[in-house]
Amino acid sequence: MTGGRSVLILHNSVTHESSADALDILEQMDCVRAALVSHGYEAPTLAINLNLDATKARLREYPPHAVFNLVEAIDDCGQLVAIATALLDHLQIPYTGCSTEGLLITGNKILAKQWLRAHNLPTADWWDGASPPPPHPGPGRWITKPVSEDASIGMDDTAVVADFRDVPARVADQEARRKFRWFAERFIDGREINVALIDGPDGPQVLPIPEIEFVDYPADKPRIVGYAAKWHDDSFEARNTVRRFVDPVQEAALCAELGRMSLRCWEIFQLRGYARVDFRVDAAGKPWVLEVNANPCISPDAGFAAALEQAGISYADGIERIVAAARYG
């Protein structure tokens, strides 16, 4: 991008009664603003809701050089997240992160899995929660998830189901209680690894690769990064899930394969700016793509910021690189 020094931070609207995962957007906003100001940008903020006429009027009244898109939901609904970028496309205002099309696909975990499978990237078998259940799913555990919501909403030990025969009831219960769609996929026992990527002058860069270790977990406790691990600091899960970085020398082959698969995800989902790909690596050493996260959390204590630091990239410089890749369409 050239010219102009105003980057407007667009974010979802929250209140003091919002959940911990929703309130996290305020910390992200403050940190991004500080990083932008350190690089000489003006950094006004704007909350978006379903009153799009007001948002459009504000953007036209004060047209920024670019928008830093921190919108994770609109009116607490993750399914609506692409409305923000669609509006910016319409107004032809460059914005950070993923395109509208990429957000629509990655924001629906079932569509994303279909896209992964179509491009020969390994992802666990799944049941969409709406079609007739498979008559012979075979043995093994399953995990139930929201189709479109992120931040591990609704994910606790009960999300892992020992027998598929109990999965439809679990999905129906969650949909009745939480009012959004759920699905199920085969649970992959193994290492929890995620790969962060950031745009650069030579294309996307794979950052150092962190693994989440489950410390002192009882044998019968599912090893998942659920809601408590992310948002309840005083919980067993938060205290006992520890981030460490995979040794790129001792595990060079694994790191190379994870990097290759992540770059392929960047390509097929048309990611840009920054992204994170979540994996499970099974007992045989095979990586499976769990989810593709466009515009992942960039709080200072989140995995993306940790990967930047491990790579020797300051938080402010990382934000600058994300802004440099901003565009619309």
Q: Is residue 3 scored above 60 in pLDDT?
A: no
Tens-place pLDDT, residues 245-302: 999 999 999 999 999 999 999 999 999 999 999 999 999 999 999 999 999 999 999 9
Domain end (from 165, 186, 207): 186
Q: Is residue 136 scored above 80 in pLDDT?
A: yes
For residues 235 and 92, give the distance between their C-alpha atoms in angstroms, rounded to a whole number.
Answer: 44
What is the reported pLDDT for 19? 81
Q: How many CB atoms lie within 10 A of CB 79?
A: 17
Quote the tokens at residue 237: 């899960």
- In whole angstroms, how large is the CA radius of gyration of the chain? 20
Tens-place pLDDT, residues 52-62: 999 999 999 88
83 versus 151: the higher-pLDDT residue is: 83
What is the reported pLDDT for 4? 60
Query: 3-state SS string over 292-314?
Result: EEECCCCCCCCHHHHHHHHCCCC
Same domain, 202 and 285: yes
Same domain, 49 and 152: no
For residues 135 and 320, give the distance between their C-alpha atoms in angstroms, rounded to a whole number.
Answer: 51
Percent of the chain with pLDDT over 70: 99
Q: Is residue 222 scored above 50 in pLDDT?
A: yes
Same domain, 17 and 156: no
Residue 321 inside a domain? The answer is: no
- Total of domains in the chain: 3
What is the reported pLDDT for 57? 94
Residue 11 inside a domain? The answer is: yes
Tens-place pLDDT, residues 169-202: 999 999 998 888 999 999 999 999 999 999 999 9
Reported confidence tier of residue 22, pLDDT bands at 50, 70, 90? confident
What is the reported pLDDT for 2? 38
Residue 326 inside a domain? The answer is: no
What is the reported pLDDT for 179? 82
Q: Is residue 305 scored above 70 in pLDDT?
A: yes
What is the reported pLDDT for 1? 42
- Domain limits for position 47: 7-97
Q: Is residue 27 scored above 80 in pLDDT?
A: yes
For residues 97 and 132, give the distance between their C-alpha atoms in angstroms, rounded to a whole number.
Answer: 36
Residue 222 inside a domain? The answer is: yes
Percent of the chain with pLDDT over 90: 85
Domain end (from 144, 168, 186): 186
Same domain, 42 and 142: no
Tens-place pLDDT, residues 103-123: 999 999 999 999 999 999 999
329 versus 326: the higher-pLDDT residue is: 326
What is the reported pLDDT for 132? 92
Helix residue ranges per DSSP H, the chain: 20-38, 52-61, 82-91, 100-106, 109-118, 167-178, 227-231, 236-239, 252-268, 303-310, 315-324
The bridge status of strand 241-245 relative to strand 210-214 is antiparallel
Give the residue-averaged pLDDT of 217-243.
93
Question: By the 8 A CB rule, do 226 and 187 touch?
Answer: no
Same domain, 207 and 276: yes
Whole-model pTM: value is 0.94
Q: Is residue 32 scored above 70 in pLDDT?
A: yes
Same domain, 72 and 55: yes
Same domain, 136 and 178: yes
Same domain, 209 and 252: yes
Give the residue-averaged pLDDT of 150-166.
90
Same domain, 86 and 173: no
Same domain, 141 and 91: no
Residue 242 inside a domain? The answer is: yes
Same domain, 145 and 171: yes
Residue 328 inside a domain? The answer is: no
207 versus 22: the higher-pLDDT residue is: 207
Same domain, 267 and 217: yes
Residue 1 inside a domain? The answer is: no
- CATH code, 59: 3.40.50.20
Lowest mean pLDDT: which of 228-232, 263-267, 306-310? 228-232
- CATH code, 308: 3.30.470.20
Residue 324 inside a domain? The answer is: no
Q: What mean pLDDT value characterizes the chain? A: 94
